[in-house]
Amino acid sequence: MSSSPSSSYEVPHPHHLWMFDVFLSYHDKYIGKSFALDLSSALTQAGYAVYINNHDLTSGEQRNSAAIKACRTSIIIFSSKFDGSTWFLEEMEKILECRRTIKQVFVPVFYDVDPSDVLKQKGVFGEAFVDCIARGILTEDSSIRYRDALFEAANISGFRMMDTRSQYNEINDIVQGFCHLIEDQKSLFIAEHPVGVEARVKDVIQLLNSEQAENTMIVGIWGMAGVGKTIIAKATYNQMSFTFDCKSILKNVNETCKSGDDGLVSFQRQLLLDICKTTKIHIDTVESGKKILQRSLCHKKVFLVLDGVNKLEQLNALCGDRDWFGHGSRIVITTSDKHILRNLQLDHVYRMKYMDNTESLKLFSWHAFRTPSPKESYADLCRDVVEYCGGLPVALEILGSYLFDRSVQEWKIALQKFKTILPYQIEKKLRKNLDVLDHDNQDVFLKIATLFIGMHKDDVIQTLNYSGHFPEIAISILEDKSLLTIDGNNRIGMHTLLRAMGREIIRQQSMDMAATKMYDVFLSFRGEDCRAKFISHLYISLQNSGLYVFKDDDGIQRGDQISVALIQAVGQSKISIVVLSKNFANSKWCMTELERIVEISRTKGMVLVPVFYEVDPSEVRHQTGEFGKAFECLLSTKSVDEYTKRNWKAALHEVGSIAGVVILKSSDESEDIKKIVDLVTHLLDKTELFVADHPVGLESRVRDVIQLLSRQKSKDPQLLGIWGMGGIGKTTLAKAVYNKIRHDFDAKSFLFNVRDVWKVDDDKVSLQQRLLFDICKTTKIKIDSVESGKKILQERLCSKKIFLVIDDVNKLDQLNALCGDRKWFGKGSRILITTRDDDLLSRLEVDHVYRMKEMDSSESLELFNWHAFKQSTSREGFTNISRDVVKYSGGLPLALQVIGSFLSTKKIKAEWKDVLEKLKLIPNNEVLEKLRISFDGLSDDDVKDIFLDIAFFFIGMDREDVTKILQDCGHFSVIGISVLVQQSLVTVDRKNKIGMHDLLRDMGREIVRKISKDADKEPSRLWHYEDVHKLPIDTSSLAVKGLSLKMSRMDSTTYLETKAFEKMDKLRFLQLVGIQLNGDYKYLSRHLRWLSWHGFPLKYIPADFHQDTLVAVVLKYSNLERVWRKSQFLVKLKILNLSHSHNLRHTPDFSKLPNLEKLILKDCPSLSSVSSNIGHLKKILLINLKDCTGLRELPRSIYKLDSLKTLILSGCTKIDKLEEDIEQMKSLTTLVADDTAITRVPFAVVRSKSIAFISLCGYKGSARRVFPSIIQSWLSPTNNILSLVQTSAGTLCRDFIDEQNNSFYCLSSILEDLQNTQRLWVKCDSQAQLNQTVASILYSFNTQNCEGFSNIETSASNFRRTQVCISSSKNSVTSLLIEMGVSCDVANILRENILQVISFSCPYSQTQHSLYFLYTSQTSTQTHLKFDAHVKVSIY
């Protein structure tokens, strides 16, 4: 019967005319905006929905136009300086139009401006307005129209604010006056779908009219939270209040009065304003307010609604006595506490009725389907929801809205979950009345909710008396608070959702204790039947199995009523064993106990194991036979009402239907007991660890870990590590895996939080003792020391297939003590270790490491939503800011949970924005503490310093670059970065870029900030512009190690004086973005190692800048034309990056940079040449000239760089060739030259022995894959391979020609050196010579069968030319490319024999051979040619 307003901008629905209370408009961005935001905040706190325009938006007039129409009122703030905003003037016209057409209320506020100045456009306001016309911002025609609108607006009565110094008080006066203004002109909004309201309102009005009209009447509306009391009161107010002299409705009294007397005084002031229409009478205290109200109201016929009252002092302050009010007045009070109504001596109390099934289905359908009836396919599910909600409107609305637009399957999943866990929004609503009770009364409520529903009130009181409570008083209070009911038969009842809330509270309270309940087994029995011969043996056997057993005769006094202590013992047990003997059902104690056990089994998930001792299960189920007679005897001799009888029968039927242990005429009692013990120990294994309330994204990760655990097929024990940063969910994942596969093992153990437990010496042994107990189920073996524990564990575990989880390990000693060696464990064992330290896993030599993945954006948003909104989707209007929080959290589950839970109590978007901005500066302490564990665990201060340097300056940079920079600062950066990676504090991706989680970065910054604050000195590293200006000016030296100032592109250029750097003589790292320095550069530190200046403004680096110590210079997007006007000798410089310097025309003198390793000149289009002295760079590793579109050629000296590993020329569109000299670059492994003018691949590139990756002329990939394709392209009919093959300097080329005697002895000497031969050209003039030459060459490539060549018989006259090109790697033939002339017998036979030789030579070789045969012509015009055969072999 209630509704939440929509945030849509469409025209309002007829049933919901207004979507916002206020449209707030202003025109002065500098003065009016600040005031507007303060006023908006005050109106929001007063309970009004405010839409404020935003001059930064560019979405156009249509959006604001629709928003204006959707608002009940509009407020325009006129300030002294008009800024020429046509948007504002158009809004004003629209507002005035809505005032005329849809009766919208319009309120002008004159902030620091006289209304007459606006009316006549004079004074400062008028001058600014005229100036806008003069400058053409306003046309002459439009200015006339706008003048008329300003005249109309200024003539309307509003608020004038001339004293801006008392802005706070003025805003309060505006809000109060505004409240009075609009409350008088509106009917209260009731509900979007007021189902069932009309009939209930009639009932209330009937009560209000039941006495003579001149009498003052007070009527209370009483009922549980969420039943719709406020809606009925507002509907009654709308129908009756207009007939009274004056009226007032005070909403949500209790919530507002939580601040104490101030809240009550504010309500008294509001009531006085509503009734007397004045703010001149001041109320200072509650007591003075009572007197003033009594004097002011007594002559008026008042209609007053006091909504949400729960304390008597609230009523005393607002309607202390009916004599306060004039004749005929009517006062309506809504409350969930009948006690305060009783004290006020009301005329009538209207008890709210729950909605019937028809009403419930209709209201639910409106919210779930936006229609009054459900979709046919959802009908049965809708009935289930309606039954679950029990006629409570708030539950129907919440669940309907949640299920809107979801599939049938999603409904089923949600309903199943709702039956287990009460939705948070419903629980929050229902808990309001419970939370105000003291602890004892809350405890009684929880006991009744979970144990005593349906029982006679007297029986419950008698039972609860044992627990030390005062149950009679507590039950009376709970009834008054609408938390339970007492029916005509004196039986206790409770709304189903209140019961569900009680169970949920119990579940939450016991969640942390779920893994460590007090008892393993609760043993229930009828002593007279079986104690002596059976129970004692069973009890001892259970204890000997390592189980902690509660026996229900242990020190508990017997009687007809069971004690609370016994019920608590049941609730604190994992399993209940009920021994059902012949006379069990003849005991009221036993039957009451059984009823409670069955109830707890249903509500808390406790396992129930029935033992049918000399009783058939069907006799229990149907209460027949001897068992049934005993039950009938109980019912006939004891006073048992029908309700209890029905519950008992249901309990017996339920327990009789459970598969338990049946003992009938047994001759072997010990075997029977063994069955029970085995069953119980097996069932205890089904007690799962609690994983997470919302296990988002967990399933796929569990699957991945289990796959790793199953990968090894051998039966040897296997170790697997789960590695990741703090808060990423390692323990959660380990628990989920444990729950999933623990049943596959003989024994299992989960050792939690080893890091913290290990800190205490005694607890080291306790971990070993715990492991021993979990695996061997015994406490008889005592471990005295860690060393003795190792021996005991090794002896006891080696014969069992074990699943062991060791959680949060941070020292090798821990692993040595708990899983010292694989030999400790039996075949098939699996040990899972969670840690932040990858090095520990390496030293333990685990089989696999699962590296935790951060949550993706979808998973992150869902998890955050569950904690912030208690649902899987964001609240309407909060989606974008939720995504901002998710982005900040960086997929870290801990941060998403903590921040989400913190924001769940913040209902205003502005509060969220403040929280998010604060978090960016100062991280959440709970998250920080978790993350800082790894940092504090770093024993080496050098490593800590490296972490902080990376957090501030080097995220996203190449690992090798960072290593070099930090090394030159005296850090041991190679090992330091490795340690940080092992500890999950730093990441290195496939491109060798250093990364760090945003929250770890923020943690680093917070550590530096806190150290600085505690030491009361400047931070060692600066990253805020404000921090620079806060530095002391009277200090001779500042201990600032690094400075990073990054200004947004949206900001104007920021200027700093170089003089400010004079005291920073320890500065090592300087990073500037959007900054310009004024002054002499000599003031910059002489110890800089790294200079990164995005947008360097000068044409060259000043000579007075000390650069001797620089290791890396990064001046991207600079204005440089040349690097230095006069060359600098920089012996330490290893990295020079001038990318995107569009004015750069000259490269530096490389002879002055002897140790340069990286030269990056990407996107320097004005660069037309590279200095020829680049050949002096003897240590250069990388040259990147990508997109240097003005570059025409490379200097020949560049090919002398035998240290160069990577050459990038892509996008250099004017470079049209690479010289054959490129094969001199012996270290070149990567050549990228795509999108250039180069049209063919030089033969020297293919011949290169070092190139591993190439991207050139459309070929891209590893050389091994690409080179054969390049060679094949040369062998096309249009190409002559001989013309492509050129002899180059440095190539070993052998020519062998013997045309006289067909001798081959000289060939052998060549073949001996074949492994060093790159190109071999052999000219033969006979068939025999051709055959033997080819055979010899193939044999030299380790072929074993060349006999086929000796039998070639063919006419040489048809064989014109054959070329054989063999591409190999390390003398292993991988590609054989053959160019032949006419397809003739010689050629065909040669082809077949080569194939045969290759096939037989390496029949088991793993090398894939690519064989290509190409005939350059299909026919021969010459029939008689001199034999001229050519064989060419090239080895690569």
Between residues 675 and 13, which one has the greater pLDDT? 675
Is the predicted pLDDT of residue 1389 greater than 80, yes or no? no
Which element (helix H / strand E) includes 1093? strand 1090-1094
Percent of the chain with pLDDT over 90: 21
Residue 241: the pLDDT is 82
Is there a contact between 980 and 994 (Cβ–Cβ < 8 Å)?
Answer: no
Residue 63: the pLDDT is 55
What backbone phi and psi angles, to 5 degrees, belong to 1077? -105, 135
Residue 1032: the pLDDT is 56
Is the predicted pLDDT of residue 1322 greater than 50, yes or no? no
Residue 897: the pLDDT is 82
- CA separation for the pair 1296, 1313 (Å, rounded): 14
Residue 200: the pLDDT is 93
Band the pLDDT of 1328: cuts 50, 70, 90. Answer: low
Residues in the chain: 1436
- Provide, for the chain, the percentages of residues in helix, strand and coil under a 3-state DSSP scheme, each rounded to the nearest 5: 45, 15, 40
Q: What is the pLDDT of residues 279-307, one digit of tens each?
A: 678 888 888 888 989 888 888 889 999 99
Residue 183: the pLDDT is 60
Give the DSSP per-residue string, 310-374. --HHHHHHHH--GGGS-TT-EEEEEES-HHHHHHHT-SEEEEPPPP-HHHHHHHHHHHHHSSSS-
Reading across the β-sheet that carries 105-111, which strands appear in turn? Answer: 50-52, 20-26, 71-79, 105-111, 159-161
What backbone phi and psi angles, to 5 degrees, belong to 1262? -70, 150
Residue 905: the pLDDT is 74
Mean pLDDT of 472-500: 89
Is there a contact between 78 and 125 (Cβ–Cβ < 8 Å)?
Answer: yes
- CA separation for the pair 769, 792 (Å, rounded): 10
Q: What is the pLDDT of residues 1250-1270, one digit of tens each?
A: 888 888 888 888 877 777 777
Is there a contact between 1229 and 1250 (Cβ–Cβ < 8 Å)?
Answer: yes
Q: What is the pLDDT of residues 1270-1289, one digit of tens each?
A: 776 665 545 444 444 433 33
Ranges 108-122, 431-445, 619-633, most confident: 619-633
- Burial class from Cβ neighbours inside 10 Å (0-12, 13-18, 19+) for residue 329 reads buried
Residue 1355: the pLDDT is 32
Per-residue CA distances from 965 to 925, 956, 1040, 1182 (Å): 32, 14, 17, 17
**Residue 838: which of 800, 809, 864 has the closest Cα?**
809
Q: 125-134, 768-777, 787-796, 1282-1291 — which is least confidently predicted?
A: 1282-1291
Percent of the chain with pLDDT over 70: 79
* Pairing outcome for strands 1259-1262 and 1253-1256: antiparallel
Take residue 1219 and report the two structure tokens written for it: 């010289």
Is the predicted pLDDT of residue 1176 greater than 80, yes or no? yes
Q: What is the pLDDT of residues 866-903, one digit of tens each?
A: 888 888 888 888 888 888 888 888 888 888 888 887 78
Is there a contact between 309 and 340 (Cβ–Cβ < 8 Å)?
Answer: yes
- Burial class from Cβ neighbours inside 10 Å (0-12, 13-18, 19+) for residue 49 reads middle
- Burial class from Cβ neighbours inside 10 Å (0-12, 13-18, 19+) for residue 72 reads buried
Q: What is the pLDDT of residues 234-260, one digit of tens each?
A: 999 988 887 788 888 998 888 777 656
- CA separation for the pair 1188, 1142 (Å, rounded): 9
The catalytic residues are 593
- CA separation for the pair 52, 26 (Å, rounded): 9
Band the pLDDT of 1313: cuts 50, 70, 90. Answer: very low
Ranges 357-366, 537-546, 1386-1395, most confident: 357-366
Mean pLDDT of 1202-1220: 91
Taking phi over 0 as left and psi of -120 to 50 as alpha, with beta for the rest, 485 belongs to beta
Strand partners, 217: 330
Take residue 652 and report the two structure tokens written for it: 């017996």
Is the predicted pLDDT of residue 273 greater than 90, yes or no? no
**Helix spans in 1189-1262 (H):** 1243-1247
SS3 state at 1022: strand
* Pairing outcome for strands 830-835 and 1259-1262: unpaired
Ranges 162-176, 372-386, 1322-1336, most confident: 372-386
* Pairing outcome for strands 830-835 and 718-723: parallel
Is the predicted pLDDT of residue 70 greater than 70, yes or no? yes
**Residue 25: which of 64, 62, 76 has the closest Cα?**
76
- CA separation for the pair 1372, 375 (Å, rounded): 73
Residue 794: the pLDDT is 86
Q: 680-684, 956-960, 1000-1004 — which is least confidently predicted?
A: 680-684
Residue 307: the pLDDT is 92
Residue 462: the pLDDT is 80
Mean pLDDT of 198-215: 86
**Residue 515: which of 840, 751, 848 has the closest Cα?**
751
Four-point Cα dihedral 169, 171, 176, 177, nearest 10: 110
Residue 1211: the pLDDT is 93
Residue 1340: the pLDDT is 52
Separate counts of helices (H) and strands (E) for the chain: 54, 44
Sheet strands (E) in 156-199: 159-161
Residue 1164: the pLDDT is 95
Take residue 799 and report the two structure tokens written for it: 């014969």
Between residues 543 and 643, which one has the greater pLDDT? 543
Strand partners, 1045: 1072
Q: What is the pLDDT of residues 637-657, one digit of tens each?
A: 766 767 678 888 888 998 998
- Give every CB contact of residue 861 below 8 A, 6+ residues apart in sequence: 874, 882, 883, 886
Residue located via tokens 């508990």: 556
Q: What is the pLDDT of residues 1060-1099, one digit of tens each?
A: 888 888 899 999 988 888 889 998 989 999 999 999 999 9
Residue 1151: the pLDDT is 92
Is the predicted pLDDT of residue 723 greater than 70, yes or no? yes
SS3 state at 1294: strand
Is the predicted pLDDT of residue 23 greater than 70, yes or no? yes
**Residue 397: which of 368, 432, 356 has the closest Cα?**
368
Q: What is the pLDDT of residues 86-130, one digit of tens each?
A: 788 888 888 998 888 877 888 888 888 888 888 888 888 888 788
Chain centroid to Cα 920, Å, comes to 16
Is the predicted pLDDT of residue 773 greater than 50, yes or no? yes
The mean of the pLDDT values for the chain is 78
Band the pLDDT of 600: cuts 50, 70, 90. Answer: confident
Is the predicted pLDDT of residue 1415 greater than 60, yes or no? no
Q: In degrees, to the nearest 5, what angle opens at C-alpha 237 toward C-alphas 293 and 189?
A: 120
Three-state SS string over 663-707 comes to ECCCCCHHHHHHHHHHHHHHHHCCCCCCCCCCCCCHHHHHHHHHH
Q: What is the pLDDT of residues 1107-1161, one digit of tens each?
A: 999 999 999 999 999 999 888 899 999 999 999 999 999 999 999 999 999 999 9
